[in-house]
Amino acid sequence: MASEEFEEGGYVERVSITPAAEKVIDQLREKHGELMFHQSGGCCDGTAPMCFAIDDFKIGARDVCLGEIHGCKFYMGGDQFEYYKNCETIVDVVAGRGASFSLEIPLGLRFLTTSRLYEDAELDRVRSVAVA
């Protein structure tokens, strides 16, 4: 799917994950197999990451892959990415109950993204995204 492979080393990541969220991925992977993320937009439980079994959610031609977290590709809509270009997206997990199809919700948990604006010096070293 990716037309451009990620290069190794020396890059500032676009997406990262907290250890607590990694543990939840491990737990979900046992039950659902390989996983992926898609950052949602819009109302209610939007502007939050959704975790699905790989192949359940159909990646669109205009989605972009920001990178991989704990072995899961992390996508978002290309239009939405325009506003995430200057931020590192950090996937964390909190207690909660979002009303979406994201797989962690039955555990009483909800993935959450926080953001860190890149320093000017980092901007030209940010990893390029893969276009679906």
Partner 1 sequence: MSYQRPVFKDQYENYIGGKWVPPVDGNYFEDTSPIDGELVTRIPQSNSKDIDLAIDAAWEAAATWSKSTAAERSMLLFRIADRIEENIEQIAVVETCDNGKGIRETLGADLPLVIDEFRYFAGCIRTEAGSVTHIDPELVSMEVHEPLGVVGAIIPWNFPLLMAAWKIVPALATGNCMVLKPAEQTPVSILIMLEIIGDLLPPGVLNVVNGFGAEAGKSLASHPGIKKIAFTGETTTGRLISQYASENIIPVSLELGGKSPNIFLESVMAEDDEFLDKAIEGLVLFALNQGQVCTCPSRALIQESIYEKFMAKCLPRVAAITMGDPYELTTMMGAQASNDQHQKIMSYLDIGKQEGAELLCGGNVFNHDQYPGGYYIEPTVFKGHNKMRIFQEEIFGPVLSVTTFKDEAEALEIANDTLYGLGSGVWTRDIHQAQNFIDGIEAGRVWVNCYHVYPSGASFGGYKNSGIGRENHHMMLNNYRNTKNVLVSYNKNKMGFF
Q: Which residues would be at the binding site for partner 1 (CB under 8 A)?
A: 38-48, 50, 52, 56-58, 60, 77, 79-80, 83-84, 87, 94-103, 105-106, 108, 110, 112-117
- Cα distance between residue 44 and residue 37, in whole Å: 18
**Least gap, CB of 112 to partner 1 (angstroms):** 6
Q: What backbone torsions phi and psi does residue 62 show, to the nearest 5 degrees? A: -105, 10
Burial group, residue 5, by CB count within 10 angstroms (0-12, 13-18, 19+)? exposed
CB 61 within 8 A of CB 78: no
**Least gap, CB of 45 to partner 1 (angstroms):** 5
Question: CB-wise, 4 or 33, nearer to partner 1?
Answer: 33
Question: CB-wise, 71 or 106, nearer to partner 1?
Answer: 106
Residue 4 corresponds to which tokens in the numbers above?
């451009």
**Least gap, CB of 77 to partner 1 (angstroms):** 7
For tokens 């506003």, the residue is 83
Question: CB-wise, 11 or 118, nearer to partner 1?
Answer: 118
Question: CB-wise, 103 or 130, nearer to partner 1?
Answer: 103
